[in-house]
């Protein structure tokens, strides 16, 4: 607690009784960081050219406190984003979404939006390769999950079925991607297993 003079009230708790502060920064970013590092490795080794798509934003209000420092005060998404990543691998177009969940037993389908499903269906209709990368943080496991299986579970949800994909189904229908040193999330190896 801070008093009006700016001094902080001393707590009667000793340092050893205090809990460490909870840090909320960068939650959900580890999978994205791992994929970005993997994509950098793929690019450096001429294996594939895959990038994270920028989200289109409309800037509405900017403050200019000085000539060299502009601060965006208000901005809106121009349109719903499609998927997280796209690129080219062995002459094939690749388009995928990456999601993390702390849920132990299932992947909630509300993590995916209808316009993303529509986009992924358009990609597969053109013989592009579309899929999900799902990380279960509780199990510390990452899976390649094909779009066709996602479409099946999405349709079940739309027809009043489960609103999630069980962890067991992800294990059975997907391919485990082991964490590695250079290609942290070597999803191309898993993709090659599926698209033989």
Q: What is the pLDDT of residues 21-31, one digit of tens each?
A: 444 334 445 89
| Per-residue pLDDT band at 63 (split at 50, 70, 90) | confident
46: burial class by Cβ within 10 Å (0-12, 13-18, 19+)?
Answer: exposed
Decide yes or no: CATH 3.30.70.580 for domain 27-194: no
Q: What is the pTM of this model?
A: 0.75
Q: What are the structural domain ranges in the chain?
A: 27-194
Read off the pLDDT of each residue in 120-126 and give the average, rounded to a whole number.
Answer: 96
Q: Does residue 66 carry a pLDDT above 80?
A: no
Residues within the annotated binding site for Mg(2+)?
82, 84, 97, 116
- In the annotated binding site, the residues are 82, 84, 97, 116
Task: Give the mean pLDDT of 135-157.
Answer: 96
188 pLDDT above the threshold of 70? yes
């Amino acid at each position: 607690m801070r008093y009006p003079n700016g001094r902080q009230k001393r707590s009667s708790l000793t340092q050893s009784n205090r809990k460490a502060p909870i840090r909320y920064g960068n939650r959900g970013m580890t999978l994205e960081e791992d994929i970005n590092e993997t994509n950098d490795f793929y690019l450096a080794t001429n294996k594939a050219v895959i990038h994270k798509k920028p989200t289109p934003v409309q800037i509405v209000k900017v403050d200019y406190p000085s000539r060299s420092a502009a601060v965006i005060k208000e901005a809106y998404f121009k349109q719903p984003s499609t998927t997280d990543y796209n690129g080219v691998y062995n002459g094939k177009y690749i388009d995928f979404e990456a999601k993390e969940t702390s849920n132990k037993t299932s992947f909630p389908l509300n993590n995916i939006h209808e316009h993303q499903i529509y986009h992924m269906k358009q990609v597969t209709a053109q013989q592009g390769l579309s899929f999900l990368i799902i990380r279960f943080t509780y199990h510390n496991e990452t899976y390649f999950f094909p779009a066709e299986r996602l479409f099946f579970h999405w349709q079940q949800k739309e027809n009043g079925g489960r609103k999630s994909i069980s962890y067991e189904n992800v294990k059975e229908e997907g391919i485990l991607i082991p964490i590695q040193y250079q290609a942290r999330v070597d999803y191309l190896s898993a993709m090659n297993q599926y698209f033989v």
